[in-house]
Amino acid sequence: MQIVKTIGEVRSVVKQWKKEGLSVGLVPTMGFLHEGHKSLIERAVKENDRVVVSDFVNPTQFGPNEDLASYPRDLDRDAKLCEEAGAALLFNPEPEEMYYEDRTTSVNMEGLTKELCGKSRPIHFSGVCTVVSKLFHIVTPDRAYFGQKDAQQLAVIKRMVRDLNFDIEIVGCPIIREEDGLAKSSRNTYLSEEERKAAVILNQSLKIGKEMIEKGEKDAAKVKEAIVKNLTTEPLAKIDYVEIVDFNTIEPITTIKGSVLTAIAVYIGKTRLIDNFIVNI
């Protein structure tokens, strides 16, 4: 596996692959990779001749009081995981390589970015859409892989690809969990031992909601109420949001029908964790 730092190097490697008629998969990441990322890379390796993993902590998607400076980084460990999973190229640019200081262009989306994480992180999705568009132009993949843990991000990227006619298939992949149900996340490393134990409340509360829906509950308010009630039993948990929305539009719904995303964001201590489930009724 090759590790490169410049856009020019990525372009020349991918150009050669394309000349040889090889298909290319892209797994965009911010590094500090875990089993969740590994599952995306392995899926991409199965479905493409060559796989590029981007490893870039994108500054434009962090708000001023967020964890950009402390976001965990470990390139050697990431490279090992990528190699084991079968990636062919790891792209690890510096911010100066990705962004001109005097840049004046960004990709902004209305609608789907208003609710959920967009409410508490107002500039987040503009940063995500901009960097993902840039990565798509740099790598020109046939397919790109995103985890369902960031369900709103997945819906936003799918919509962006449709609206801007990117010729790329977006593949959404299932959430990978720890044994006790906590969704794998690079941010789990921020948790103290006590907080780590408390963090199981997220998945536990979602399970209560999911069971209600599976048993036929159609009233979104009732499902939401049950999730909130269970989350509030954990003293270390502070709810950012609990929302039930249409997965395609990310608009809140009152009746459970169609493709339904139940998403939560909860602070455990200072760490903001997200989790969700999607049902098709």
CA-closest candidate to residue 54, choices 80, 32, 26, 81: 26
Q: Which is nearer to ligand PAF, 166 or 213 (CB)?
A: 166
| Least distance between ligand PAF and beta carbon 156 (Å) | 10
Cα dist from 179 to 148, 151, 187, 197, whole Å: 18, 21, 17, 12
CA-closest candidate to residue 40, choices 124, 116, 153, 137: 153
For ligand PAF, the binding residues (CB under 6 A) are: 28-30, 58, 61, 128, 131-132, 150, 153
| Least distance between ligand PAF and beta carbon 30 (Å) | 4
Q: Which is nearer to ligand PAF, 139 or 231 (CB)?
A: 139
Q: Which is nearer to ligand PAF, 85 or 213 (CB)?
A: 85
| Least distance between ligand PAF and beta carbon 135 (Å) | 8
Cα dist from 188 to 37, 81, 103, 249, whole Å: 14, 18, 33, 29
Q: Which is nearer to ligand PAF, 154 or 237 (CB)?
A: 154
Query: Which one from 34, 37, 124, 137 is the annotated catalytic residue?
Result: 37
Q: Does residue 37 have an active-site annotation?
A: yes
| Least distance between ligand PAF and beta carbon 174 (Å) | 15
Residue positions annotated with a catalytic role: 37
